[in-house]
Amino acid sequence: MNKLLFILLLFACQQASSQNRPLDAAAIQQIKQGVQQAARTTLTITSEFTQEKEMSILNDKIISSGAFYFKKERSLRWEYIHPFSYIITIRGDLISISNEGEVKSFNTQSNRVFAEVNNIIIGSVNGTLLDDNSFSAGYSQNRDHYIVTLTPLSPSLKENLEKIIIFFDKANFTVNQLEMVEPAGDFTRITFSKKQLNQPIPDEVFVLR
Amino acid sequence: MRYLFFVSIVSILLSSGCQPVKPPRLTPISAETFNTIVSTDTPSLISPFAIPIFEKGLFKATLNIGKHHLTGLAFIKKIQTEDTDSTVSGTTYRMVLSNEFGMTYFDIETGNQSFNVNYCFGPLDKKMLWKVLKTDLKLLFPQEPDKSKESFFLQDQTNLLVSKIKQGNFTRWNLYSPPDTLKEVRGKSTLADHATITFSNFSNGFPSRITLTNALIKLKFSLSLISIN
């Protein structure tokens, strides 16, 4: 009987540690400060990433992976390696895409979804997204992460996004995972791994020719 | 001013919408002649993808409409629907177009008699646009033709075999390179939705590149194959 009780208690503890727990005001303030501090001190990020798009109705996933580069203030490079090769660089408002050797550049304003995703990624890296008035924020944590759930407030954003969930690493307040949930229930999960902070990245990395 | 506007619209329609969808230089041939040259056992006859076992595929996609330039991935899946009460029955094709980061631009499902837009990203959610896109995208997917309304031709000079099929309210022209390679599909239901689809870069019988164009609305939709099952 005691053995059974012990197993049940152990199971309950495991469940509790894996579940997301809400945070009080002081803890929320601590997260905001931590993210802002990380944003101030993070000049570059080099990382690998895995992106999963889950299509609930089709019961299928599209999984891609590659390399990610960020350089302050607003330079990004997404280099998709598998299952296709594709490079996207974003410098300020200019997006360049290299596809099969052909490079096309356009302004983020000509593609609203791109502009929104760009703002979300940059905003979550530099911490400004947490104070963005376009979203209401909910805070929780699990064992390894502080979890911020952002719900769009503006009707136009709500059309495309139900919520964004950002997983900040408890150790250094950098983003480990980003989930973008769409109104139909489909979602994209981007997981960053092998992160290296403040390693020099030449500006040319963000230029496609 | 109003007159000038009217003249401009008519000019656009005349210069692009009224381009003949019918391939030039056609000589009628019998169904028997057509069938002896083209392998009728190959479902490619009814499949623009020219492959009989197309269950699902992932493509790189580029969609240009006027000034708008969208890029990303197109996931296409064949769906077998059993439910007779469903608005969509039989075999349908579902296409989800999303940007590289996974955010959906549109999600459509099309079958022989049906076309549903399950989701559409705000700026693309225009009734007039979808009226045109409906025919354009229906052309892209396999259809079961009404054989009784099918006629056949041989195109002079190119020696391409051509079949003309009436499907619902639009006419579809399939251009084959014998024995079973579908090179091009043309179709329209109104002046505005005259579309041409070309298939190229064949690999193991499957076109690695598919391009849909509609001159009137300045649409070009390109698909490059990544993987197929």
Kindly report the pTM of this predicted structure. 0.79
Q: Is residue B40 part of a domain?
A: yes
Contact B59, B223 (CB under 8 A): yes
Q: Give B36 or A13, the one with higher predicted confidence.
A: B36
Chain B residues near residue A188 by CB distance under 8 angstroms: 101-103
**Across the interface, do B123 and A112 touch by the CB < 8 Å criterion?**
yes
CATH number of the domain that residue B167 is part of: 2.50.20
Number of domains in chain B: 1
Q: Is residue B120 part of a domain?
A: yes
Q: Is residue B107 part of a domain?
A: yes
Residue with tokens 């298939």: B199
B23 DSSP assignment: P
Q: Output the pLDDT for position B113.
A: 77
Domain span at B83: 19-228
**Across the interface, do A86 and B56 touch by the CB < 8 Å criterion?**
no
Rounded to an integer, what distance in angstroms lies between the CA atom of residue B185 and that of residue B198?
7
Chain B residues near residue A112 by CB distance under 8 angstroms: 121-123
Scanning every residue of chain A, which has its alpha carbon at the shortest distance from the alpha carbon of B66? A110
Q: Is residue B3 part of a domain?
A: no
Q: Output the pLDDT for position B28.
A: 92
Q: Is residue B10 part of a domain?
A: no
Chain A residues near residue B104 by CB distance under 8 angstroms: 182, 184, 186
Q: Is residue B7 part of a domain?
A: no
Q: B48 pLDDT exceeds 80?
A: no
Contact A142, A17 (CB under 8 A): yes
Q: Is residue B6 part of a domain?
A: no
Q: Do the bridges between strand A21-22 and strand A175-181 make them parallel or antiparallel, or are there none, so unpaired?
A: unpaired
Q: Output the pLDDT for position B87.
A: 53
Which stretches of chain A score pLDDT less than 50? Answer: 9-13, 15-17
Contact A66, A59 (CB under 8 A): no
Q: Taking the CA of residue A166 as centre, how many other CA atoms within 13 Å lie in the half-sphere pointing to its CB?
A: 26
Tens of pLDDT, residues A94-144? 889 898 788 988 887 766 667 777 777 788 777 788 888 889 999 999 999
Contact A87, A39 (CB under 8 A): no
b/e map of B207-224 (b: 16 or more CB within 10 Å)? bbbbbbbbebbebebbbb
Q: Output the pLDDT for position B166.
A: 79
**Across the interface, do A112 and B122 touch by the CB < 8 Å criterion?**
yes
Scanning every residue of chain B, which has its alpha carbon at the shortest distance from the alpha carbon of A108? B69
Q: Give B176 or B74, the one with higher predicted confidence.
A: B74
Q: Output the pLDDT for position A57.
A: 65
* Most A-contacting residue of B78, B86, B92, B101 (CB-CB within 10 A), to test interface: B101
3-state helix, strand, coil in chain A (%, to 5): 30, 45, 25
Q: CA of B82 to nearest chain A CA: how many angstroms apart? A: 16
Banded model confidence at residue B9, pLDDT cuts 50, 70, 90? very low
Banded model confidence at residue B89, pLDDT cuts 50, 70, 90? low
- Would you call B47 an interface residue with chain A, using a CB distance cutoff of 8 Å? no
Q: Is residue B100 part of a domain?
A: yes
Q: Kindly report the length of chain B.
A: 229
Q: Give the pair of three-digit tokens for residue B123.
A: 């700026």
Rounded to an integer, what distance in angstroms lies between the CA atom of residue B189 and that of residue B203?
32
Banded model confidence at residue B15, pLDDT cuts 50, 70, 90? very low
